[in-house]
Amino acid sequence: METLLSTTDVARRLGVAEITLRKWRIYGAGPRFIRCGANVRYREADLEDWLASRTVASTSEAA
């Protein structure tokens, strides 16, 4: 079974504040997540997929 990451784990990995991840969840802008009752968890594969989808070669490309 895959290890699930907490909001704190993902925020540290991305170098963003936890509140940023919360806002992204509201707007559907961040990585896919799993809701476990009141807890939110992220699959590492979903995080990697989201990062790959944000990769661009120049500033003129839309992410």
Per-residue pLDDT tens for 2-41? 889 999 999 999 999 999 999 999 999 999 999 999 999 9
- Give the chain's domains with CATH numbers: 4-53 (1.10.1660.10)
- Cα–Cα distances in angstroms (integers) from residue 62 to residues 39, 42, 57, 59, in the given order: 32, 25, 10, 8
pLDDT on residue 63: 62
Element (H, E) at 38: none
Helices of type H across the chain: 7-14, 18-27, 44-53
Find the mean pLDDT for residues 35-50.
Answer: 95
